[in-house]
Chain A
Amino acid sequence: MSTLVIKDLHVAIDEKEILKGVNLSLNTNEIHAIMGPNGTGKSTLASAIMGHPKYEVTSGSITLDGKNVLEMEVDERAKAGLFLAMQYPSEISGVTNADFLRSAINARRGEGNEISLMKFIRELDDKMEFLEMPEEMGQRYLNEGFSGGEKKRNEILQLMMLKPKFAILDEIDSGLDIDALKVVSKGINAMRGEGFGCLMITHYQRLLNYITPDHVHIMMQGRVVRSGGPELAEKLEAEGYDWIKKELGIEDEEETSGQEA
């Protein structure tokens, strides 16, 4: 079993503090969901874990099985077993999806241990079929001209090919129609099990109808303010966030920067 521990994490972007002491612990074989209104720092948490260059960790720690994640370069974090399905994946012109995936797999496997082309193609074909992606998407340039839904599927394809210990899914459900949501959920559920942990960030209870979380956390104003089981998400769906704000004495102020980068 692996464990990802986030302790008292403070993160700033352009010197403005967004995360103000986040505590969270995930094990493999667990699915966690983080919910919360816009602009409360959910995506910031995801980006800080992966090491986005614009986010500055000002204090606190992130460890993976005791190892200091914050000291690792972005690629080292990935090789240590972290994966972030991004809300806005980059488009890379001229690099095919398939070539990119093979480079990523081989980077993890290391020199002299590269995946055979046949094995790679077989696995890619299988996973693409599973995610109902047309074969030609392997030969298209990485995310270039992909629709919102295609990009999200492509993130899940990468997840399934790279098989990380922990996946963070940053609003994987946003902009998906119901059929695409089902396919994406199917992919995540297929990963579920020993050796895989997941942190899903979402606005919507809807995603949790397809992927049942073991733990639900609510973030507000840069902190995790409530944690519980799936029933917490159901209560949010039924009653919104007002009851928590009331309990915590939060006025309806303008939330942090008002945007989640």
Chain B
Amino acid sequence: MTVETKLAVTAQDVRSFSEANNEPSWLTELRERALADVETLPMVKPDKTNVEKWNFTEFPAHTVESSTYASLEEFPEEVKAIVDAEGQHNIYIQHNNTPAYLQLSKELASKGVILTDILTAAREHSDLVQKYFMTEGVKIDQHKLTALHAALVNGGVFVYIPKNVIVEEPIQAVFLHDNENASLFNHVLVVAEANSSVTYVENYLSTVDEAKGQANIIAEVIVNDNANVTFGAVDVLAKGFTTYVNRRAILHRDAKVDWALGLMNDSDTLSENITYLKGDGSYADTKSVVVGRGEQSQNFTTEVRHWGKASNGYILIHGVMKDSARGIFNGIGKIEHGATKADAEQESRVLMLSKNARGDANPILLIDEDDVTAGHAASVGRVDPVQLYYLMSRGISKAEAERLIIHGFLNPVVNQLPIEGVRKQLTEIIERKVR
């Protein structure tokens, strides 16, 4: 039996929304087809968590109106804290569903770099968006939630780096959520053409304690031949969302992606971070940290799939679970037939801080080729009493010793984040969450 999908949005609403945004007809039609599929497509089935009863479909409003910002000075304090006002020249801020601020350095614009909200991009760069929007990466009909996403996209950002362009300064997107009725159907599309390079960092930041809407977020990263993308993210979405976040990269020949994800939501969260190593010599380094607390239930799937010869995929995920939080960590390395000399390595470690917390590290290696190397390490445990003793024997209190051990445990990812403000923010969030 499938749970009935009670959608507050009709086909007519979707069409009106699309038309109001002057979307190209391909997108309007895509939305309509996707909406029709929502009813019939199966629900996503993550390993070890049953999400059939999770409410992914109810929300009070498709979009809400929010204010824009004329200048950096008008940013809310929480946003100022994570944006390096002096040094950050390439920035997009979305206020709930409203594109609120956009800045791209003249130099990058003159080289053909595109940074704009996704709906504007669909109008102004229709061909490019059509080429990559849910075609190579996430498929619309993958399951109910991807179709729902395609039908209802109401925000997100488009980043396009032309051939041979090296972007030195990071590009930052901040998705500020301060209206409890808002829903985030954000689509992020990062396209790096051949021989280009870019660092993109996104922040999902709730400043309200309770959310009534949905967060159904998809990011697609297309890395063409010999291009290089560093993708950093810090997610801090409020309790009340049912968060589905799918971050997907497609790598072509000799392409490289480095993921650094700080997954700090307070909502129930289903997260997929999947990298397809299609090209020979492609390389993915996937690093994630998670802190779960309260009654939260979360499922994280990190997968690297190898088609390319001599492709390298590394997965590292460290999770801390406290209170009664539950976290499932599925690490999947899959090597397809023909991907000779591929290397798939993964490490999942879960630290539990309280009796009722539950963590499950689930390493999976699926290998269809002989001439490869692969390995995994997984552990679930508590803070080592001998480590605590060692630190305390130097005069450090038990609480501070635990704090040091936890921060140390999460540091491998925190240190990877390329923007200092974001690094600091993640450190502070971890501090707050594990206290």
Across-interface contacts of B412 in A (CB, < 8 A): 93-94
CB distance from B416 to the nearest CB of A (A): 12
The distance in angstroms between the C-alpha atoms of A84 and B393, with both chains bound, is 7
The distance in angstroms between the C-alpha atoms of A158 and B409, with both chains bound, is 22
CB distance from B267 to the nearest CB of A (A): 27
What does the 1/0 interface line of B392-418 toward A look like (CB < 8 Å)? 111111101100110111111000000
Is B87 at the interface (CB under 8 A from chain A)?
no
B398 close to A53 (CB less than 8 A): no
Which 4 pairs of residues, A with B, have the shortest CB-CB distance? A94-B408, A94-B411, A78-B395, A90-B390
Is B428 at the interface (CB under 8 A from chain A)?
no
Is B387 at the interface (CB under 8 A from chain A)?
yes
The distance in angstroms between the C-alpha atoms of A201 and B385, with both chains bound, is 24
Is B77 at the interface (CB under 8 A from chain A)?
no
User: Which residue of the partner chain B has the closest CB to A158?
Assistant: B394
The verdict on A92 contacting B391 (CB below 8 Å), with A107-B396, A107-B397 known, is: yes
The distance in angstroms between the C-alpha atoms of A86 and B396, with both chains bound, is 16
Across-interface contacts of B408 in A (CB, < 8 A): 92-95, 141-142
| 12 A–B contacts from the bound complex (CB under 8 Å) | A75-B392, A75-B401, A78-B392, A78-B396, A79-B395, A83-B393, A84-B393, A89-B390, A99-B404, A103-B400, A104-B391, A107-B396
User: Which residue of the partner chain B has the closest CB to A47?
Assistant: B389
CB distance from B92 to the nearest CB of A (A): 32
CB distance from B340 to the nearest CB of A (A): 32
User: Which residue of the partner chain A has the closest CB to B395?
Assistant: A78
A103 close to B404 (CB less than 8 A): yes
A74 close to B407 (CB less than 8 A): no
Across-interface contacts of A77 in B (CB, < 8 A): 393
CB distance from B408 to the nearest CB of A (A): 3
User: Which residue of the partner chain B has the closest CB to A108?
Assistant: B395
Within 8 A of B (CB), among A55-110: 73-75, 77-79, 83-84, 86, 89-90, 92-95, 99-100, 103-104, 107-108
Across-interface contacts of A99 in B (CB, < 8 A): 404
Contact of B395 among A90, A92, A104 (CB under 8 A): A104
Across-interface contacts of A16 in B (CB, < 8 A): none
CB distance from B219 to the nearest CB of A (A): 27
Within 8 A of B (CB), among A37-63: 50-53
Which of B390, B411, B412 gathers most chain A CB within 10 Å?
B390
The distance in angstroms between the C-alpha atoms of A141 and B404, with both chains bound, is 12
B394 close to A162 (CB less than 8 A): yes
B398 close to A73 (CB less than 8 A): yes
CB distance from A17 to the nearest CB of B (A): 21
The distance in angstroms between the C-alpha atoms of A50 and B386, with both chains bound, is 12
Across-interface contacts of B389 in A (CB, < 8 A): 50-53, 74, 90
A75 close to B395 (CB less than 8 A): yes
The distance in angstroms between the C-alpha atoms of A87 and B409, with both chains bound, is 24
The distance in angstroms between the C-alpha atoms of A128 and B389, with both chains bound, is 24
CB distance from B119 to the nearest CB of A (A): 41
Is B384 at the interface (CB under 8 A from chain A)?
yes
A104 close to B405 (CB less than 8 A): no
A107 close to B404 (CB less than 8 A): no
Using A53-B385, A79-B395 as known contacts, list a sample of 9 further A-B pairs with CB atoms less than 8 Å apart, ordered by residue number in A: A73-B398, A75-B395, A90-B389, A90-B391, A93-B409, A94-B410, A94-B412, A107-B395, A142-B408
Contact of B394 among A51, A53, A94, A104 (CB under 8 A): A104
CB distance from A243 to the nearest CB of B (A): 36
Across-interface contacts of B401 in A (CB, < 8 A): 75
The distance in angstroms between the C-alpha atoms of A98 and B208, with both chains bound, is 38
Across-interface contacts of B391 in A (CB, < 8 A): 90, 92, 100, 104
Across-interface contacts of A95 in B (CB, < 8 A): 404-405, 407-408, 411
The distance in angstroms between the C-alpha atoms of A124 and B387, with both chains bound, is 23
What does the 1/0 interface line of A130-142 toward B look like (CB < 8 Å)? 0000000000011
User: Which residue of the partner chain A has the closest CB to B384?
Assistant: A90
B404 close to A74 (CB less than 8 A): no
Within 8 A of B (CB), among A212-230: none
What does the 1/0 interface line of B271-302 toward A look like (CB < 8 Å)? 00000000000000000000000000000000
Contact of B396 among A51, A75, A90, A93 (CB under 8 A): A75
Across-interface contacts of B387 in A (CB, < 8 A): 90, 92
The distance in angstroms between the C-alpha atoms of A223 and B252, with both chains bound, is 70
The distance in angstroms between the C-alpha atoms of A211 and B405, with both chains bound, is 35
The distance in angstroms between the C-alpha atoms of A83 and B384, with both chains bound, is 20
User: Which residue of the partner chain A has the closest CB to B407?
Assistant: A94
A86 close to B390 (CB less than 8 A): yes
CB distance from A217 to the nearest CB of B (A): 23
User: Which residue of the partner chain A has the closest CB to B406?
Assistant: A94
The distance in angstroms between the C-alpha atoms of A142 and B395, with both chains bound, is 16
Across-interface contacts of B390 in A (CB, < 8 A): 86, 89-90, 92
